[in-house]
Amino acid sequence: MDAIFKALNDPHRRAILDALRDRDGRTLGEIEALFPLTRFGVMAHLRVLEEAGLVVARRSGRFKHHYLNAVPLQEVIDRWIGPFLKPKARAVIDLKSRLENTMLDVNPRPDFVLDTYIRCTQDALWKALTDPNEVVHYHMAAAAARGRLDAAGDAMDFLMPDGSTMLTMRVEAIDPKSRIDVTFIPAWGEDRTPTRFTYLIAAEPHACRLTVEHFGIPAAQASLRDGWARMISGLKSHLESGGPMRFSYPQG
């Protein structure tokens, strides 16, 4: 957590995060054009942000794209700020971003990336992502889930308290315990365009690295970023504590 506070203790780095919040996936050149800094200065700031886990970089062709990773920020909020705030006040500091809908080409890049390390086994993380009985322990809004995500063609419905479907996830391709490519089908809002995301799991000696990459998000579904931050933070807390943890949306 010290690395996060160090990274945030510089106005240029905070401005870079603001720029990525406004439009994620910027290249080094695009970020450089926003500031009166040398290219090497911007690279140094990005390196600090990446080391703190606040920025995740992904290469697409000749370009390297940078994404705001909201999970560490959500953890700081929940650990140091959330306990001191009333629900209405907390809503003010929730990270939200207006995402642009980008055209996918033969080498698509995600609209945003979330990345975190979880102290758990690969088997435990896989079960938490694919088992409907596990999902309800950490999903911020779903009251129940049905179906599974174990094989290509499988689907899982996330249900509201009244039993209606909130969203559906359908597996398109799978590499057991390592990768799931999923179609994301929302059942709320005016724009219900299906999009796609990928879970990437990498085993570490005492933890697992989980990366979420989401592609092709319409502007009307920009709130997905905040939803992912809450869901993945809840997943991490659930697996590390052994109990349910749901970072629900503020009421009122």
Question: Could you read off the pLDDT of 200-239 as tens digits, one per residue?
Answer: 999 988 999 999 999 989 888 888 889 999 999 999 999 9
- Per the model's pLDDT, the better-predicted residue between 250 and 66 turns out to be 66
Identify the DSSP state of 82.
Answer: G
Whether 119 contacts 239, CB under 8 Å: yes
pLDDT for 186? 93
37 confidence band (pLDDT: 50, 70, 90): confident
> pLDDT, tens digit, for every residue of 104-142?
343 468 888 999 999 999 999 999 999 999 999 999 999
Q: Is residue 197 scored above 90 in pLDDT?
A: yes
Q: In DSSP terms, which residues pair with 86 in a beta bridge?
A: none
Residue 111 DSSP code: S
Question: What pLDDT shows up at residue 251?
Answer: 67
β-strand pairing of 179-186 with 55-60: unpaired
Among residues 111, 70, 110, the alpha carbon closest in space to that of 93 is found at: 70
The residues pairing with 202 across neighbouring beta strands, listed in sequence order, are: 209
Beta bridge partners of 200: 179, 211
SS3 13: helix
Euclidean distance between CA atoms 151 and 182, whole angstroms = 11
Beta-bridge partner residues of 196: 183, 215
Q: Bridge-partner residues for 176, per DSSP?
A: none
Give domain limits for the chain: 2-68, 112-241
User: 156-172 pLDDT, tens per residue?
Assistant: 999 999 999 999 999 99
Looking only at Cα atoms, what is the longest distance across the chain? 55
DSSP H/E element including 140: none
Among the CATH numbers 1.20.1050.10, 3.30.530.20, 3.50.50.60, 1.20.140.10, which is that of 112-241?
A: 3.30.530.20
Tens digit of each residue's pLDDT (9 = 90 or more) over 42-92: 999 999 999 998 998 888 888 889 998 877 777 776 666 555 554 544 444
CATH code of the region 2-68: 1.10.10.10
Q: CA 129 to CA 125: how far, in whole Å? A: 6
Predicted TM-score of the model (pTM): 0.64
